[in-house]
Amino acid sequence: MGARGRGHGRVIGDMTDRAGTAGRGWRRALVTGGAGFVGSHLCARLLDDGTDVVCLDNLSTGARSNVLELDRRRRFRFVRGDATDEDAVRGLPGSFDLVLHFACPASPADYLRLPLETLDVGSNGTRNALERARRDGARFLLASTSEVYGDPLEHPQTETYWGNVNPVGPRSVYDESKRFGEALVTAHRGVHGTDAAIVRIFNTYGPRMRTGDGRAVPTFIAQALDGTPLTVAGDGSQTRSLCYVDDTVDGVLALAASEETGPMNIGGGDEITMLELAQRVVELTGSRSRIRFVERPVDDPTRRRPDTRLAEQRLGWRPRTGWSEGLERTIGWFAQAVAA
Ligand code: NAD
């Protein structure tokens, strides 16, 4: 089944015109976690597409400043509240035809600091958001993650791979919370017929990431701009496949506009070692920083690369932003944020 309008007048477009893409045609969207890194880009894109947006966020890892600019737009509303609070989600006024459940601490530094909250938002938070979507007859999307594949024994990872996750390791609070969320979405669809889909997002980077969140791109960029050594974990040979945030948003909204249920991988195809990434950041910033090798975190995955053929075939989606372009834009944003 291909991506198509689903009675909401939505049009996918051919994905060559980013301005008029996938979210078009939604009347009113709820974005939980909308003040976070990915969520704030989603809110902005939906507004650009003419959708009214309610952003529900408890600001545990996000920032009000991420969506301050959106306050000026008539169609945007920020609500400070917790997705795990049933009344807060149920009590949001009006009705939605799209619910994007993105609330969840997402960087290792955050979910290790907030382990119980992470499990809670993946379970109770997902249930509340699903219930809200069911009540309103809305399309629902769960932001799941490549972390459901754990330290993968299959490479690249296809959606049919079940993963290699340590259920009691330090990362389990995140991995298992998302795995539970996926099970909940699947059960909700089966029991209630909720129009729900799962997107498995791989590492995404771009403006509005936080420097202190422990993720490689903002960490390296901040260190390079500071002139301090770039801290590469282990020997730096572990790989990630990073996707620029605009491409991730395209993929998420294309899936939302389709009738696909997923799980569907959305992620970058260019696999890069952490050492190469650090070296590129040094080059692009013109920094004099050196590289310092530090201890590797427990259960840090060795290889990560999505197989995105499903998204290509069903949605016509593929990442389009090259490394240099994406990193340059991100570095530009960080340089400005540091200067401000
Ligand atoms: P982020 O931490 O920047 O954003 C998460 C947002 O959720 C924050 O604004 C935070 O305040 C909010 N939040 C957390 N718990 C909440 C709760 N109980 N109620 C209301 N709001 C709450 O992280 P991100 O990188 O933007 O990730 C967003 C989503 O995408 C997450 O669900 C994450 O698991 C998923 N994801 C992200 C990536 C990535 O590379 N960024 C990769 C895979 C999956």
- The whole-number pLDDT of residue 193 equals 97
Q: Which residues contact 325 (CB under 8 A, 6 or more apart)?
A: 244
> Which residues surround ligand 1 with Cβ inside 6 Å?
32-33, 35-39, 56-62, 82-84, 102-106, 110, 121, 125, 143, 145, 201, 203-204
Q: What residue ranges define each of the domains in the chain, with the CATH number in brackets?
A: 4-206+243-269+305-321 (3.40.50.720), 216-238+271-304+328-339 (3.90.25.10)
Query: Residue 194 Cα, ligand 1 centroid: separation in angstroms?
Result: 23
H-assigned helices in the chain: 37-48, 86-90, 108-113, 115-120, 126-136, 172-192, 216-226, 245-257, 274-285, 309-315, 323-339
Tokens describing residue 9: 């007048």
Reported as a single tens digit per residue, the pLDDT across 271-315 is: 899 999 999 999 999 999 999 999 988 777 788 889 999 999 999
Query: Which protein residue's CA is at the shortest distance from atom 23 of ligand 1?
Result: 106
Q: Catalytic site residues?
A: 174
Q: Residue with structure tokens 């490394």?
A: 323
Query: Which protein residue's CA is at the shortest distance from atom 35 of ligand 1?
Result: 143
Percent of the chain with pLDDT over 70: 93
Closest ligand 1 atom, residue 144 Cα: 44
Reported as a single tens digit per residue, the pLDDT across 181-230 is: 999 999 999 999 999 999 999 999 999 999 888 889 999 999 999 999 99
Tokens describing residue 309: 């053929």
